[in-house]
Amino acid sequence: MNIGEIARRAGVSRSTVSYALSGKRPVSDETREKIQRVIDDLGYRPNASARALANGRTSTIALVFPPAGDHYTGMQLDFLGSVVEAAAAYDYDVLLSPSGVDSDRSFQRLLGERRVDGAILMEIRLQDDRVDHLLAEGFPAVCIGRTSRPESGWWVGLDHTALAAACVHHLADLGHDRVAFVNRPERLLRAGYESAHRGLDGFTKAAAERGLTVRTYNCEDDAPSGQACLERILYDDPDTTALVTLNEAALGGLYRGLAHAGRHVPRDFSVTGVVATRWAETVTPQLTAADVPAAQMGRLAVELLVERLDHPDAPPRHQLLAPPISLRASTGPAVPHPPGDKRGIPDVDSTA
């Protein structure tokens, strides 16, 4: 079934059917209804490729997402789901492109063949080849995150600097003066992932302001690594009474490590950080945290991209979010350990 057959049965020209489907030119209500009856009777669905050729749109956007490791974290999956759901509300499909740098064949194919109308980029780095490439090509794109030069781009970001600092101030207000920071994996820090760098910057500056004794750690995105990291924290400084984390995937392991060390949360040890709400509410006790609004950020990214597609000459727009800390049950007043208290200190190989 094609437009020609619909035109024959409706007694109109092919161009009239095309105009009725695309809305490019006005068609009388009577003619439109006649064409629609034929379409309904035949169960016709326009071919997406043909429609794209006709109006220059594919009705598809790309979500360019280089996996940060061997698996997606819960926060990343929340972003994926929110983008797909928001795009559907605008009648856009989403093509997932797990590609990263401008030499990647998949990424080049996505751009060169114009398979999509625009792109949303995740896991942004401070110096990001993908963003530079899209900007040079004039290709419509929105980032979830900020590069080191955010003023010229379209993006939705989370203020990791301010949020990590807020966590530090919360702990300092509770009397904690020896605090650890659990960041994302070291390879992501080396690669320039902006959330890891800006979170670390916010933590260290706020800790200096409050005169805290701190140590910083990189941790892989899984629970076993979280437990090993916690053991290292207590080995390095047994008097540590609190931690801030950006690594939600390691959160369960951090809690498990504290339990194995005999540290009760929050009586003996306080935990806070920047994580997605559903992860904060999954652990026991529930995590006091700056909740990442993943669904809101995905929706805003889609809205900005649709705006950019509909208004190509619009100036760049962006939104920086800084949600307040949600007070739950994982933080409490600092309780100093008695001198010489070696309770729960793991035997960690210093050469590890």
Mean pLDDT value across residues 11-39: 82
Angstrom distance (rounded) from CA 231 to CA 254: 9
Angstrom distance (rounded) from CA 184 to CA 123: 12
Looking at residue 158, what is its pLDDT?
96
Torsion of CA 92, 96, 99, 101, to 10 degrees: 20
β-strand pairing of 325-326 with 288-292: antiparallel
- Fold type of domain 160-291: Rossmann fold (3.40.50)
Per the model's pLDDT, the better-predicted residue between 227 and 3 turns out to be: 227
262: left (phi over 0), alpha (psi -120 to 50) or beta: left
Does this chain's domain 60-159+294-324 share its CATH topology with 160-291?
Answer: yes
Q: Name the token pair of 134.
A: 């899209």
Confidence of residue 350 (pLDDT cuts 50, 70, 90): very low
Q: Tell whether the model's pLDDT for residue 239 goes beyond 50.
A: yes
Q: What is the CA radius of gyration of the chain?
A: 26
Looking at residue 39, what is its pLDDT?
84
User: Residues 285, 268: contact at Cβ < 8 Å?
Assistant: no
Kindly report the average pLDDT of the chain as a whole number: 87
Q: Name the token pair of 51.
A: 């429609």
- How many degrees, rounded to 5, is the angle at CA 215 between CA 211 and CA 220? 145
CB atoms within 10 A of CB 66: 17
User: Residues 258, 229: contact at Cβ < 8 Å?
Assistant: no
Measured between alpha carbons, how far is residue 8 from residues 16, 17, 35, 39, 246 in Å?
Answer: 11, 10, 10, 12, 62
The full set of domain ranges for the chain reads 3-55, 60-159+294-324, 160-291
The most confident of 4-8, 63-67, 197-201, by mean pLDDT: 197-201
Looking at residue 351, what is its pLDDT?
34
Q: What is the tens place of the pLDDT at every residue in 63-97?
A: 987 655 566 777 778 888 899 999 998 889 998 88
Measured between alpha carbons, how far is residue 172 from residues 35, 76, 203, 349 in Å?
Answer: 70, 30, 12, 31
40-49, 81-90, 312-321: segment of lowest average pLDDT: 40-49
Angstrom distance (rounded) from CA 101 to CA 112: 15
Helix then strand then coil, in percent of the chain rounded to 5, is 45, 15, 40
Q: What is the tens place of the pLDDT at every residue in 290-311?
A: 999 988 999 999 999 999 998 9
Q: Tell whether the model's pLDDT for residue 148 goes beyond 80.
A: yes
Looking at residue 23, what is its pLDDT?
64
Looking at residue 302, what is its pLDDT?
95
Looking at residue 168, what is its pLDDT?
98
Looking at residue 24, what is its pLDDT?
63
Confidence of residue 348 (pLDDT cuts 50, 70, 90): low
Q: Tell whether the model's pLDDT for residue 321 goes beyond 70.
A: yes
Q: What is the tens place of the pLDDT at every residue in 86-134?
A: 999 888 999 888 765 444 677 777 777 778 899 999 889 999 988 988 8
Q: Tell whether the model's pLDDT for residue 315 goes beyond 90.
A: yes
Helix axes 3-10, 14-22, angle to 10 degrees: 110
Q: Give φ, ψ of 169 to 5 degrees.
A: -65, -35
Looking at residue 339, what is its pLDDT?
55
Looking at residue 352, what is its pLDDT?
35
Q: Tell whether the model's pLDDT for residue 289 goes beyond 90.
A: yes
- How many degrees, rounded to 5, is the angle at CA 302 between CA 161 and CA 324? 30
- Domain 3-55 top-level CATH class: mainly alpha
Q: Name the token pair of 308.
A: 């950019």
Confidence of residue 29 (pLDDT cuts 50, 70, 90): confident
Q: Tell whether the model's pLDDT for residue 338 goes beyond 70.
A: no
Q: What is the 3-state secondary structure (H, E, C) of 103-164?
A: CCHHHHHHHHCCCCCEEEECCCECCCHHHHHHHHHCCCEEEECCCCCHHHCCEEEECHHHHH
Confidence of residue 186 (pLDDT cuts 50, 70, 90): very high
Mean pLDDT value across residues 42-55: 60
Assigned CATH for 60-159+294-324: 3.40.50.2300
